[in-house]
Amino acid sequence: MTYAHIIVERDGPTATIILNRPDAMNALTPEILGETHDALSEIADDGAINVVVVTGAGRAFCAGVDLKALQAKGHDISQGNVGDDLNNAAQAVLEKIEAMPQATIAKVNGFCFTGGMELMLAFDIVIIAEEAKLGDTHAILGFRPSWGMTQRLPRKVGTMRAKELSFTARTFSGAEAAAMGLALEAVPLAELDARVEQLATAIGRNSPGSIRAYKDLYSQANNAGLDAGLEYERVTDYEIPDVTQRLGDFLAKLGGKG
């Protein structure tokens, strides 16, 4: 299948999906999310594939939601919510990543912010470039998370660290991400491809049925209460009156850098 916004590659038991909007730092739209879901669904049904790697083209893994596209749609963001089109598409991708029988690896090669972090959190294993820059920037713009940040992040780093990252919206490095448990390993960017290939090869030679069983069992162990938390995050509304102004100011500043 040919895609407009992603690239899909297969090499033996490994399938790689590359988010391919480098000029937009692989920012997320319903279209790129839809293509990613379609590709993941096709791969999930391929018994010859045992490992799925997702990465980004260019200097970013994923910069989060495409804010320019969001603003252009004129969606009501007065409650800090990006809207059903994005929410439904993103949640479908995250659920597919967690439920698919193959082992999944996020190869985080560069910038990874907000919605990109939420995407990253759904993977079985994260290998990250030391030079990568990450951050949960919802609070800078006045948005609220709706793709699982508040449920998955504290499970990785603990509730207090998760709150610190979300409340401050600070940027941190790939090396720090690994140190706090957001990634399995951080390696120099020049070594990232080789390390992920090594890991994928080690996984790929093992039993697909065993990998499937492990994924289900680890899910049962880790996700007690997660479904209820995800549903609460999904449906609870908040008044965030400054989001429109904050988004406009941010995009104006962004435009001035061109």
Give the dihedral sign, CA 121/63/16/187. Answer: negative
Q: Helices 226-235 and 149-157, interaxial angle, to 10°?
A: 140
User: Scanning the structure block, which residue is given the tokens 């449906």?
Assistant: 235
Could you tell me the CATH number of the domain that includes residue 21? 3.90.226.10
In a domain, 248, yes or no: yes
What is the extent of the structural domain holding 245? 6-256
Other CB atoms within 10 A of residue 156 CB? 16
Q: How many residues does the chain have?
A: 258
Q: How far apart are CA 122 and CA 126, in angstroms?
A: 9
How is the beta sheet containing 111-113 ordered, strand by strand? 60-62, 111-113, 133-135, 172-173
The pTM for the full model equals 0.92
Q: Return per-residue pLDDT of the chain as tens, 258 residues.
A: 789 999 999 999 999 999 999 999 999 999 999 999 999 999 999 999 999 999 999 999 999 999 999 999 888 898 999 999 999 999 999 999 999 999 999 999 999 999 999 999 999 999 999 999 999 999 999 999 999 999 999 999 999 999 999 999 999 999 999 999 999 999 999 999 999 999 999 999 999 999 999 998 898 888 778 888 888 888 888 888 888 999 999 999 988 764
Contact status, residue 84 vs residue 72, Cβ threshold 8 Å: no
User: Would 1 be classed as within a structural domain?
Assistant: no
